[in-house]
């Protein structure tokens, strides 16, 4: 079974993480959760409530890390997902995560990003000239690093598939899984 990485940390968004996690299993992939340390991580749920101008946050489910960033051998994985939530803001500085991120962009393997997930490839200097969807408040992070913001539920730029928030899961995740299935067949 081909392995696919999902990148998380504390405060990863629950739906950004769990929807693709189970869709990947349904498609016959082995899902491997990676994070800074091998332990249980607390996910959150985010929503901008009517009348609010900022995001409200609630505790979500927890998820176990299968392999820490330092132990990931990226050549053993078919694809990667950068989940959203607040976690990317903190974990993007991890040198091993930067190494992993650069591998997937340099090798052209299928990549998915949603919401704040964009902060990881942006920090790793992998978004220059690439079109991506992200939540509006991360538009600056994308554009200041040379990326091109597209306000659509699914943006496909070569091997890179992205969505704005978990509201776009039904649009971008299927397109990314299709790329993974094509890559699996090509092996």
Number of structural domains (the chain) is 1
Catalytic residue among 46, 103, 116, 167: 116
pLDDT tens-digit series, residues 7-20: 999 999 999 999 99
Give catalytic status of residue 116 as yes or no.
yes
At 187, the pLDDT band (50, 70, 90 cuts) reads: confident
Q: What is the extent of the structural domain holding 111? A: 3-186
pLDDT grade, residue 50 (50/70/90)?
confident
Q: What is the mean pLDDT of residues 91-117?
A: 98
Q: What is the CATH number of the domain that holds 27?
A: 3.40.50.880
Q: Taking 90 as the threshold, does the pLDDT of residue 1 lie above it?
A: no
DSSP the chain: --EEEEE--TTBBHHHHHHHHHHHHHTTPEEEEEESSSSEEEEEEEE--TT-SS-EEEEEEEEE-SEEGGG--GGG-SEEEE--BSHHHHHTT-HHHHHHHHHHHHHT--EEEEGGGGHHHHHTT--TT-EE---GGGHHHHHHTT-EE--SS-EEETTEEEESSGGGHHHHHHHHHHHHHHHHHH-
Confidence band for 46, pLDDT divided at 50, 70 and 90: confident
Residue 154: the pLDDT is 98
- Mean pLDDT on 99-122: 98
């Amino acid at each position: 079974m081909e392995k696919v990485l999902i990148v998380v940390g504390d405060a990863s968004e629950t739906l950004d993480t769990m929807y693709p996690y189970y869709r990947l299993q349904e498609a016959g992939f082995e899902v491997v959760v990676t994070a800074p340390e091998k332990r249980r991580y607390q996910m959150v749920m985010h929503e901008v409530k009517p009348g609010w101008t900022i995001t409200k946050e609630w505790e979500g489910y927890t998820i176990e890390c299968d392999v820490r960033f330092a132990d990931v051998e990226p050549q053993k994985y078919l694809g990667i997902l950068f989940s959203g939530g607040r976690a990317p803001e903190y974990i993007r500085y991890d040198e091993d995560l930067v190494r992993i991120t650069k591998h997937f962009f340099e090798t052209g393997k299928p990549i998915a990003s949603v919401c704040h997930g964009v902060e990881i490839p942006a920090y790793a200097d992998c978004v220059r000239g690439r079109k991506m969807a992200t939540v509006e408040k991360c538009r600056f992070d994308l554009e200041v690093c040379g990326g091109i913001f597209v306000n659509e539920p699914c943006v496909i730029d070569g091997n890179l598939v992205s969505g704005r928030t978990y509201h776009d899961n039904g649009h971008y995740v299927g397109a990314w899984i299709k790329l993974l299935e094509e890559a699996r067949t090509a092996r």
